[in-house]
C-alpha cells in the first residue's frame, strides 16, 4: 500500500493496535498460527491517526531485507537526524508496525505465524535496554543509526525472519562498534550480502569465548582485528571455510 506521508496513531488508534497485537494473537509461531485481521484503512483515517508533518510518501511493499525497510522509512524524512528524532515516538512506531504487518510476519494462507508480543510492541526509546529491546522488530533502526556499517549480520536478511541470530544481541555484554563488527566479520559474507551458512554453533562459541576473554583483557579498548587474532587458529580457519 502507498501512503502520502507517514502517520502516527492517536489514542483511538493505539487501542486498535493493542487489540491487533494482543496476548491472544501473539506467540503462535510456526505450530499455532493465528488469524489476524488488520484493517489497513484505519492507517489514514483521521479518527485513528495524525499525519507526521514534513514527511514524504511511504510504500509498504515486499521488502527483501531489513535494511531496505529501514532505508525506506528514513527516506521519508528530510534528514537522518529528523528521522532519528521522530522515531522515538512510540505511536509512530506502532503505526509502522501495523502498516507493515504483512512484511514482518510470515503467513500461511490467511494465518499469521506471530512471534512473542515484545516483537511488535515498541519499547520505551528514552530508556533503551539491549537485553529487552532487541526483541522488537524495529530494533534494527537503532542498529542502523548507531552501528550501520557494522550491522550487516542483523540487517541483511528478510524482515519476517525470527530472532535466531538477533538473540545474541541480548547476550553481548558490551554492544560497542568493535564487538558488533567482530560478529559481522565472522558471520556475515560481505560479497554475498548475507550471513554465512551454519553460523549458529560458531556464534554460541564466539559469545562464550568473549566472556572468557573479558576476564583478562580490556577488549572494549581493542580493535576488531586484535580481538579476532586472539581466537584459536582452528576456529578462525573454520569460520573462513563457511564463506567458501
pLDDT in tens, the chain (244 residues): 999 999 999 999 999 999 999 999 999 998 999 999 999 999 999 999 999 999 999 999 999 999 999 999 999 999 999 999 999 999 999 999 999 999 999 999 999 999 999 999 999 888 888 778 888 988 888 888 888 778 888 888 889 886 555 666 666 656 788 888 888 888 888 777 777 776 667 778 888 899 899 899 998 899 999 999 999 999 888 888 877 7
* 191 in any annotated domain: no
CA distance 117 to 142: 19
Domain span at residue 44 reads: 2-127
* 74 in any annotated domain: yes
* 112 in any annotated domain: yes
CA distance 147 to 224: 14
* 42 in any annotated domain: yes
Domain tally for the chain? 1
Place of cell 536478511: 157
Place of cell 493465528: 34
3-state secondary structure of 188: strand
Q: Nearest-CA neighbor of 84 among 33, 2, 143, 150?
A: 143
Q: What cell does 54 get?
A: 514534513
**CB atoms closer than 10 angstroms to residue 198:** 13
Amino acid at each position: 500500500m502507498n501512503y502520502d506521508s507517514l502517520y502516527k496513531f492517536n489514542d483511538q488508534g493505539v487501542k486498535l493496535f493493542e487489540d491487533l497485537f494482543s496476548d491472544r494473537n501473539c506467540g503462535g509461531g510456526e505450530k499455532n498460527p493465528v488469524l489476524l485481521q488488520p484493517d489497513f484503512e484505519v492507517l489514514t483515517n483521521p479518527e485513528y491517526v495524525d499525519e507526521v508533518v514534513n514527511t514524504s510518501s511511504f510504500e509498504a511493499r515486499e521488502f527483501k531485507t531489513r535494511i531496505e525497510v529501514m532505508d525506506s522509512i528514513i527516506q521519508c524524512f528530510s534528514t537522518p537526524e529528523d528521522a532519528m528524532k521522530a522515531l522515538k515516538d512510540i505511536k509512530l512506531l506502532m503505526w509502522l508496525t501495523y502498516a507493515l504487518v504483512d512484511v514482518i510476519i510470515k503467513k500461511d494462507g490467511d494465518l499469521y505465524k506471530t512471534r512473542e508480543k515484545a516483537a511488535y510492541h515498541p519499547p520505551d526509546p528514552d530508556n533503551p535496554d539491549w537485553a529487552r529491546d532487541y526483541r522488537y522488530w524495529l530494533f534494527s533502526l537503532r542498529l542502523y543509526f548507531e552501528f550501520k556499517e557494522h550491522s550487516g549480520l542483523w540487517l541483511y536478511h528478510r524482515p519476517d525472519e525470527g530472532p535466531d541470530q538477533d538473540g545474541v544481541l541480548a547476550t553481548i555484554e558490551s554492544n560497542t562498534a568493535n564487538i558488533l563488527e567482530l560478529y559481522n566479520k565472522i558471520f556475515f559474507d560481505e560479497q554475498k550480502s548475507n550471513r554465512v551458512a551454519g553460523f549458529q554453533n560458531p556464534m554460541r562459541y564466539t559469545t562464550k569465548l568473549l566472556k572468557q576473554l573479558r576476564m583478562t583483557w580490556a577488549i572494549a579498548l581493542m580493535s576488531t582485528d586484535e580481538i579476532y587474532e586472539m581466537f584459536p587458529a582452528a576456529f578462525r580457519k573454520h569460520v573462513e571455510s563457511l564463506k567458501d
